[in-house]
Amino acid sequence: MAPLIPTLREGRVSIRPIRLRDARALERELISNRPWLRQWEATLPNAPLSVDVRSSVRNLQANSRAGLGLPFVLEWDGEFAGQLNVSSITWGSLSSATIGYWVSERFAGRNITPTGVALATDHCFFSLGLHRMEICIRPENAPSLRVVEKLGFRYEGLRRRYIHINGDWRDHFCFALTVEEVPAGVLRRWLDGQADEQAAAIPPVDRARAATPLKPGS
């Protein structure tokens, strides 16, 4: 049975299930934040860059009903601020999932994203029983890299041409946590100032590799 998607809060930040009626607010934010978001948006190879927002929401909900994802809306004081998706949920011997997110530019700098990521990760660990959570980030995406630093996600390596973003295959740095690393929870560890930001440190060799385009045959 697909897990229920809760509403979770910490201070002025909340994450809640996405609804079809969010499509209008979602489309408005995507359009107004186009220059801010487009360089980080996942795309489909050989497909138009335009997105049918209502269909996208329906697909997220269908994925959730299949037990493969948890699509959340990020809110600030109850106002739509962005999205956070737990995707690629795998049960059984792997028990893992991946987190992706974006926040509107006008809400940047309010710790909405790290709070949402921490809430979602703790829910996956302690309510759903997942063992490992992963976040993959483009090397150029400094704000997202700061999120994993704040929360103490552990750097695991460079994945070359890993995800199709903004019209091409892009390299990503991979970060992860397992439940054993955060016995009191990701949120509590961060709020208590106990997260090890150095865990997310990227070795210079990987930064250099990411700055060098992968050549055919290499």
Residues 6+ apart with CB under 8 A from 92: none
Instruction: Report the C-alpha gap between 140 and 142 in whole angstroms.
Output: 6
pLDDT digits (tens, 9 = 90+) for 73-122: 999 999 999 999 999 999 999 999 999 999 999 999 999 999 999 999 99
| Positions in the chain short of pLDDT 70 | 1, 37, 40, 46-51, 216-218
Three-class secondary structure assignment of 145-185: HHHHHHHCCEEEEEEEEEEEECCEEEEEEEEEEEHHHCCCC
pLDDT digits (tens, 9 = 90+) for 54-65: 999 999 999 999
Would you state the pLDDT for residue 32? 87
Q: How many helices and strands, by DSSP H and E, does the chain display?
A: 7, 8
Answer whether 18's CB lies under 8 Å from 72's CB. yes
The gap between the terminal CA atoms of the chain, to the nearest Å, is: 44
Answer whether 199's CB lies under 8 Å from 186's CB. no
Would you state the pLDDT for residue 40? 65
Q: In 10 A of CB 86, how many CB atoms?
A: 27
Residue 97's alpha-carbon distances to 51, 69, 132, 152, in angstroms, are 24, 8, 7, 17
Instruction: Report the C-alpha gap between 28 and 16 in whole angstroms.
Output: 19
**Which helix H or strand E contains 144, and what residues bound it?**
helix 142-151
Q: Which residue has the tokens 């309010």?
A: 110
- Strand partners of residue 100: 85
Q: Provide DSSP, 17-44.
A: E--GGGHHHHHHHHHHTHHHHGGG-B--
Would you state the pLDDT for residue 46? 65
Task: List domains and CATH numbers for the chain.
Answer: 8-210 (3.40.630.30)
Would you state the pLDDT for residue 35? 76
3-state secondary structure of 50: coil
Answer whether 85's CB lies under 8 Å from 68's CB. no
Would you state the pLDDT for residue 119? 98
